[in-house]
């Protein structure tokens, strides 16, 4: 009886083994077909978009998987089991290498990365619950220090931002065809942006800002047709703003600020019909804004201060920018009048056109921009009517112009900053200024103000900067100024003031 049972068990075992071999063979044949198609597809695509190394990777993958099939089918059950166990060990071990590349872990978040804990339960790891495959790694902001391991699984999200990783970005990242989000921002990475990132064909977000990356933004980036967010600001990138960025039809966010980019703003950028965020600050850009930029109705932010841009702004530019919330073009060489159409950008929150060569009057209709919180016209060649009907503002910066009028009574309670230094402001300081209970900075230096400083000044309890120097003020310094307990900077010099009972 025992002998018959053993025979039957052996027969069942052999049958199961045979079925397993057939199933494995079918799976490997399917995988072979898939990989060979990938190679064929890669060879027919543009070499600029599919680097040669990617084709080689696919060929190597075919060889490895073919070898794995032979190992599974042509050896006995013991070796099949051994291979499966080894495969699991390799999967875990490859992740362990990532830990070994990290030299500093001040919060001990990687203590869970050990062989006694399933890797899907490791801190920062996300797995597919059904397949138990790693789909994401998020170790953002833990002050980790080390290099980025080249042993990276094919995941969807890879986030090592806000740490202290150094060295180059591994070329192996280009093999992650399933990757959606890649963030290596705010580290100490060097070298160039890998050209073979084109292998990440599903990439939506590429965040490499706040590093020490050099070189140009390579053409291959234009092959990432699903890319929505490209942010490489605060690096050391050179060359120009690439015209091929216009091929990234899904792009909504483009930031290349604080680099060493030169040349003009390419017309092709206007092809980005979904673009909402355009940031070009702190470069060496020249020329004018492309006129087609004014037709990009999706834009909510245009930021290009501290460049060498010139020319004038189109009078009608704001008629087709209904969603614009921030316009920052300070510290350029832009001239001409402020476009009267600016009041059509009804959702504007911030306008900073300071330190340019704007001339003429500020449109009095600025008062229609009821959402406007910050207006800086500092150091231009602007004339009168600059402060009418602006009582809704929080911040008003008008220094360094040629304004020759009185301070209007209409300025409102919301102001926290009012700077009108280096103008030709005349008359007295309005007594209604006592209503500015939120005022923190008041700078009226170098004007032609006369009369006395009223006791209202003591009501400005939030004030920490007060500068009325270089005017023609007279009388006593009001004792009530002592109520300004937060005052850090006080300049009343070069007037005709006396201390009195102060």
Read off the DSSP letter of residue 412. -
149-153, 176-180, 283-287, 470-474: which has the highest mean pLDDT? 283-287
Q: Which of these ranges, 116-130, 174-188, 465-479, 485-499, has the smallest mean pLDDT?
A: 116-130
| Chain segment 267-296, per-residue pLDDT in tens | 999 999 999 999 999 999 999 999 999 999
The CATH architecture to which 408-502 belongs is: Alpha-Beta Horseshoe (3.80)
Q: Is the pLDDT of residue 428 over 80?
A: yes
3-state SS track over 304-364: CCCCEECCECCCCHHHHCCCCCEEECCCCCCEECCCHHHHHCCCCCEEECCCCEEEECCCH
| Chain segment 343-401, per-residue pLDDT in tens | 899 999 999 999 999 998 877 777 788 888 888 888 888 875 445 555 556 778 888 88
The whole-model pTM stands at 0.74
pLDDT of residue 43: 46
Task: Provide mean pLDDT across the span 48-58.
Answer: 48
Task: Provide mean pLDDT across the span 438-455.
Answer: 90
Beta strand 465-467 with 489-491: parallel, antiparallel or unpaired?
Answer: parallel
CB 245 within 8 A of CB 267: no
Q: pLDDT band for position 241 (50/70/90)?
A: very high
Q: Which of 117, 133, 132, 234 is nearest to 187 (CA)?
A: 234
pLDDT of residue 98: 58
CB 246 within 8 A of CB 224: no
What are the phi and psi torsion angles at 438 (to 5°)? -95, 0
Strand partners, 406: 426
- The first and second tokens of residue 153, run together, are 């699984």
Q: Which of 186, 194, 185 is nearest to 214 (CA)?
A: 194
167-176, 185-194, 365-374: which has the highest mean pLDDT? 185-194
CB 138 within 8 A of CB 126: yes
Report CA torsion sign: 46, 47, 52, 54.
Answer: negative
Position with higher pLDDT, 306 vs 21:
306
pLDDT of residue 131: 82
Kind plus residue range of the DSSP H or E element containing 81: helix 77-100
* pLDDT > 90 in the chain, percent: 47
Cα–Cα distance, 481 to 76 (Å, whole number):
94
* CA distances in angstroms from 320 to 280, 298, 329, 346, listed in the order given: 21, 9, 18, 11
SS3 392: coil
| Chain segment 83-94, per-residue pLDDT in tens | 333 333 334 334
Task: Provide mean pLDDT across the span 10-34.
Answer: 59
CB 473 within 8 A of CB 496: yes
Cα–Cα distance, 252 to 289 (Å, whole number):
19
Kind plus residue range of the DSSP H or E element containing 190: strand 188-190
pLDDT of residue 375: 87
Cα–Cα distance, 69 to 87 (Å, whole number):
13
Angle at 343 between CA 272 and CA 251, to 5 degrees: 15
- The first and second tokens of residue 423, run together, are 């103008």
Task: Provide mean pLDDT across the span 61-68.
Answer: 35
Q: Is the pLDDT of residue 65 over 60?
A: no
Cα–Cα distance, 87 to 91 (Å, whole number):
6
Q: What are the structural domain ranges in the chain?
A: 2-74, 408-502
pLDDT of residue 180: 96
Task: Provide mean pLDDT across the span 169-187.
Answer: 93
The mean pLDDT value of the chain amounts to: 81
Cα–Cα distance, 125 to 118 (Å, whole number):
10
CB 94 within 8 A of CB 125: no
Strand partners, 240: 262
Task: Provide mean pLDDT across the span 242-267.
Answer: 96
Q: Is the pLDDT of residue 73 over 80?
A: no
Report CA torsion sign: 188, 247, 198, 98.
Answer: positive
Q: Is the pLDDT of residue 55 over 90?
A: no
pLDDT of residue 81: 40
Position with higher pLDDT, 68 vs 306:
306
121-130, 184-193, 365-374, 427-436: which has the highest mean pLDDT? 184-193
Q: Which of 59, 232, 361, 429 is nearest to 242 (CA)?
A: 232
């Amino acid at each position: 009886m025992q002998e018959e049972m053993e025979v039957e068990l052996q027969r069942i075992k052999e049958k199961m083994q045979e079925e397993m071999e057939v199933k494995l063979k079918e799976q490997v044949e399917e995988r072979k077909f898939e990989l060979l198609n990938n190679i064929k597809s890669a060879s027919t695509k543009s070499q600029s978009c599919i680097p040669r190394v990617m084709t080689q990777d696919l060929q190597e993958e075919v060889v490895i998987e073919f070898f794995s099939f032979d190992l599974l089918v042509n050896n006995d059950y013991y070796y099949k089991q051994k291979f499966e166990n080894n495969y699991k060990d390799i999967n875990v071990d490859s992740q362990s290498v990532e830990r070994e590349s990290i030299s500093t872990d001040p919060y001990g978040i990687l203590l869970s990365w050990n062989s006694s804990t399933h890797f899907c339960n490791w801190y920062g790891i996300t797995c597919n619950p059904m397949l138990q495959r790693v789909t994401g790694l998020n170790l953002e902001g833990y002050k980790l220090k080390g290099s980025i391991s080249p042993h990276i699984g094919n995941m969807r999200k890879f986030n090592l931002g806000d740490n202290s990783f150094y060295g180059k970005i591994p070329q192996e990242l280009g093999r992650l065809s399933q990757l959606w989000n890649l963030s290596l921002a705010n580290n100490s990475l060097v070298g160039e942006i890998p050209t073979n990132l084109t292998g990440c064909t599903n990439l939506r977000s590429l965040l490499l800002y706040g590093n020490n990356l050099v070189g140009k933004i390579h053409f291959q980036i234009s092959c990432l047709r699903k890319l929505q967010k490209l942010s490489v600001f605060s690096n050391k990138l050179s060359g120009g703003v690439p015209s091929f960025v216009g091929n990234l039809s899904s792009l909504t966010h483009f930031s290349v600020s604080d680099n060493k980019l030169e040349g003009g703003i390419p017309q092709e950028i206007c092809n980005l019909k979904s673009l909402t965020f355009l940031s070009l600050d702190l470069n060496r850009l020249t020329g004018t804004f492309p006129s087609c930029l004014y037709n990009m109705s999706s834009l909510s932010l245009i930021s290009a201060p501290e460049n060498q841009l010139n020319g004038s702004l189109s009078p009608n530019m704001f008629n087709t920018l209904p969603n614009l919330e921030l316009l920052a073009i300070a510290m350029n060489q832009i001239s001409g009048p402020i476009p009267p159409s600016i009041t059509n950008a009804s959702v504007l929150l911030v306008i900073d056109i300071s330190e340019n060569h704007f001339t003429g009057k500020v449109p009095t209709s600025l008062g229609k921009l009821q959402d406007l919180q910050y207006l800086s016209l500092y150091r231009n060649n602007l004339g009168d009517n600059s402060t009418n009907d602006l009582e809704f503002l929080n911040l008003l910066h008008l220094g360094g112009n040629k304004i020759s009028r009185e301070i209007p009574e209409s300025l409102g309670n919301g102001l926290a900053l009012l700077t009108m230094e280096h103008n030709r402001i005349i008359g007295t300081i309005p007594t209604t200024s006592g209503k500015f209970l939120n005022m923190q900075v008041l700078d009226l230096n170098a004007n032609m103000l006369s009369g006395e400083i009223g006791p209202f000044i003591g009501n400005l309890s939030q004030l920490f900067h007060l500068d009325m120097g270089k005017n023609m003020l007279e009388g006593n310094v009001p004792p009530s100024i002592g109520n300004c307990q937060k005052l850090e900077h006080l300049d009343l010099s070069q007037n005709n003031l006396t201390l009195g009972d102060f």
